[in-house]
């Protein structure tokens, strides 16, 4: 779905970056508890670097940049349109009813 540009996809990609799972692991068939455990590990890894990409080790930064670039390319080939997704997230004009 969305070429992997989902919350679960991000957890998996970050799991690869931090070495919690091998890059060959797609987590296909995993139970919710397994994804939750991976998220807990990934979240702690981000806590450890202050949630800043700039604080990643050089090896992690290289992996992060490569994995993200490959993911974006794959997602676009699968039909993901980041501009469309941003537009869908933007609030539209509010319908304000008269309150006479």
Sign of the alpha-carbon torsion through 43, 60, 13, 84: positive
Q: What angle do CA 88, 94, 95 make, to 5 degrees?
A: 125
Q: Chain-wide mean pLDDT for the chain?
A: 88
pLDDT tier at 53 (50, 70, 90 boundaries)?
A: very high
pTM over 0.85: no
Question: Which percentage of the chain shows pLDDT scores above 90?
Answer: 71
Say if CB 5 and CB 79 are below 8 A apart. no
**Tens digits of per-residue pLDDT, 60-85?**
999 999 999 999 999 999 988 888 76
Residues sharing a CB contact under 8 Å with residue 16, sequence separation 6 or more, in sequence order: 22, 23, 25, 63, 67
pLDDT (0 to 100) of residue 49: 99
Domain boundaries, the chain: 2-23+31-81
pLDDT (0 to 100) of residue 38: 99
**b/e map of 5-26 (b: 16 or more CB within 10 Å)?**
beeebebbbbbbbbebbeeeee
In terms of residues, how long is the chain?
A: 100
Calculate mean pLDDT across residues 17-41: 98
pLDDT tier at 88 (50, 70, 90 boundaries)?
A: low
pLDDT (0 to 100) of residue 84: 75
pLDDT (0 to 100) of residue 33: 98
């Amino acid at each position: 779905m969305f070429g992997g540009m989902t919350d679960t996809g991000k957890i998996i990609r970050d799991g690869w970056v931090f070495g919690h799972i091998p890059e060959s692991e797609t987590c296909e068939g995993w139970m919710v508890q397994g994804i939750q455990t991976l998220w807990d590990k990934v979240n702690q890894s981000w806590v450890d670097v202050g949630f800043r990409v700039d604080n990643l080790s050089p090896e992690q930064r290289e992996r992060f940049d490569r994995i993200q670039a490959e993911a974006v390319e794959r997602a676009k080939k699968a039909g993901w349109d980041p501009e469309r997704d941003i537009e869908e997230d933007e609030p539209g004009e509010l319908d304000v009813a008269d309150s006479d």
